[in-house]
Amino acid sequence: MNTLTRYVLAQCLLLSAALAHAAADPGAAIADCRAKFADHPPEHIACLERALNASGGTREETAPPSIGDEQLKSKRPQETVDEATVEIANVTYGYDGMGLFRMSDGQVWKATESTPREQRLESGRTYSARIARGKMGGYRMYVEGASRMIRVTRTH
C-alpha cells in the first residue's frame, strides 16, 4: 500500500469512528464539530448534518403557521394564514390610545392607530374577534359588537 492509500484509509476509519461516536452520544458530536470547525461555519454545519444523518435523527416538525406569524422576527413560516377567529382575553390602552390585545391562545396584537376613547373596548372583558389580512398588507381586527375595524400588527 502506498502512503496516499494509507492516509485515505486512515481518514475513512477516523470518520466512521467519529460518526459511530456521534450516533451514541449526540452531545459529543456537537462538541467534536465545534472543536474541529469553529472558525469555518459552513464546515461546522456540514459536520453537524453528517452527525445528525448518522444518528438517524430527524429535524423537529414545526407547528403549523398561525395568523401574523410572518410579522414575528423570531420565526418566519413558509405558509401564511389569511384569516383567523380569536378570543381577546385582555385589552389595555396606552396613553397614546394604542390598544394592546392579548388573545386567549397567547398571541399579542397591537393597534397601529390610536383609538378614540369612546370607541375603546372595555378592559377585563373577553371579546370574540376575527383578524384578517388586508388587501394592501397589514391586518384588520373585527371585534364582535364593535362599531369599527382596528388595524393591528402582531407583536408576540
- Per residue in 34-53, pLDDT (tens digit) is 788 778 777 777 777 787 77
CB contact at 8 A, 140 and 132: yes
Instruction: Give the DSSP letter string of 103-131.
Output: ETTS-EEEESS---GGGPPPTT--EEEEE
pTM exceeds cut of 0.95:
no
Assess if CATH 1.10.3470 describes domain 69-154.
Answer: no
Place of cell 456521534: 22
Tell me the residue type at 126. T
Query: Does residue 85 surpass a pLDDT of 90?
Result: yes
Residue 79, Cα to own-chain centre: how many angstroms?
A: 12
Residues forming CATH 2.40.50 domain(s) in the chain:
69-154
- Per residue in 92-103, pLDDT (tens digit) is 999 999 999 999
Closest CA to 139 of 83, 96, 75, 85: 83
